[in-house]
Amino acid sequence: MNRFRKRVFDIIQIGNRDDLPSLAFDVFIVLVILTNITVIFLETFDSMAPYYSVLETLDTLTIGIFIIEYGLRIWTAEYLYPGMSRRRAVLRFFVSYDGIVDLLTILPFFFLSGFVVFRMLRVVRIFHLFRINSTYDSFSVIRSVVYEKKNQLASSLFILIVLMLASSLCMYSAEHEAQPEVFRNALSGIWWSMSTLLTVGYGDIYPVTELGRAMAIVISVLGVMVVAIPTGILSAGFVENYTEAAYSAAPLDFHLQTVSIGPDSAWVSLTKEEVLRQYGYTVILIKRNGVTFPPKEGYRIYLGDELAVYKDNETEAHEI
């Protein structure tokens, strides 16, 4: 049974191009996802009313496949997290990014049928099927930059909220008497301040007094400046990440060891933290599918990877 479960895990894992059943499963899931997304769109057309029964059948069928796949991932979770017990591995999968996304793509069919936006999260899974987030590419950079700059982004968001509330209060003071039906209270100007600060400017609510227009000019200028803050933060983060990638892709220092991960390697599916803790080696670079990148926290090692490692002198090193 354990051998069969391990084989199921290998098949449903994403991106094993050397395993024909695994590759076929990936292609099949992609087709199922695209079919389900197409059905969701077609159900919004009145002209498709005669085919609603067929569309509902396809929707139910694809959701059934998603449920089976979700169940298989729970069943094989212990191989995804080999250092944990079966119960802890299942719990870890439930709260993982992939587990949450998978769950959100299923639940709307039963409980949240009106929230179609949740079901669109299936598109995210297409990216995972081709390991777009597993190598050092644009999607990985975006995720890394947002994570690394989360504190600065949170600060800029806080500034935006404070400025939005302040501008709403100011416009209420200037426009309430002239437009009592529009600026009824201090919070009624939130919509105007949001569209102005974010430089959208819908024009459905606007000041008519001289003071209100003068304040609107100042608030609009501040809005441009506030929007530029997170843009600058993200731009700087992209530059830092690409600079790091370019430096890491340089020729390896002769003190480093090169390790090829074969079928018999004990490092398969381990993270760089687990390799350091269990074997005493620090993983500096991973070469995967011709792309060399520095592993981020939680990155897992796959069959066929080439690693640049060095031995941590403070940790007892085992034979590779």
pLDDT band at 252 (very low <50, low <70, confident <90, very high): very low
The H or E element that residue 303 is part of is none
Q: What is the CATH number of the domain that holds 101?
A: 1.20.120.350
Q: Do 93 and 179 sit in the same domain of this protein?
A: no
Q: What is the mean pLDDT of residues 218-222?
A: 86
Tokens in use for 120? 């669109």
Q: Is residue 145 one of the residues assigned to a domain?
A: no
Q: What is the CATH number of the domain that holds 229?
A: 1.10.287.70
Contact 163, 222 (CB under 8 A): yes
One-letter amino acid of 59: D
Q: Does residue 78 surpass a pLDDT of 80?
A: yes
Q: What predicted TM-score, i.e. pTM, was given to this entire model?
A: 0.50
pLDDT of residue 251: 47
pLDDT of residue 121: 60
Using the 3D structure, point to which of 204, 230, 248 is the last residue of a domain.
Answer: 248
Q: Does residue 250 surpass a pLDDT of 50?
A: no
Residue 288 DSSP label: E
Q: Is 283 helix (H, G, I), strand (E, B) or coil?
A: strand
Q: Is residue 144 one of the residues assigned to a domain?
A: no
- In DSSP terms, 309 is beta-bridged to 257, 283
Residue 320 DSSP label: -
Contact 299, 284 (CB under 8 A): no
Q: Do 239 and 121 sit in the same domain of this protein?
A: no
Residue 319 DSSP label: P
Domain that holds residue 243: 150-248
Q: Do 196 and 265 sit in the same domain of this protein?
A: no
Residue 2 or residue 314, greater confidence: 2
Q: Do 117 and 25 sit in the same domain of this protein?
A: yes
The H or E element that residue 281 is part of is strand 281-288
Contact 72, 12 (CB under 8 A): yes
pLDDT band at 254 (very low <50, low <70, confident <90, very high): very low
Neighbours of 201 (CB within 10 A): 14
Q: Does residue 135 surpass a pLDDT of 60?
A: no
Half-sphere exposure of 295 (CA within 13 A, CB side): 25
Q: Does residue 61 surpass a pLDDT of 90?
A: yes
Tokens 């792309």 correspond to 291
N-to-C CA span, the chain:
29
The H or E element that residue 298 is part of is none
Q: Do 271 and 189 sit in the same domain of this protein?
A: no
**Total tally of structural domains belonging to the chain:** 3
Q: Do 288 and 225 sit in the same domain of this protein?
A: no
Q: Do 90 and 188 sit in the same domain of this protein?
A: no
Q: Is residue 156 one of the residues assigned to a domain?
A: yes
Q: Is residue 242 one of the residues assigned to a domain?
A: yes
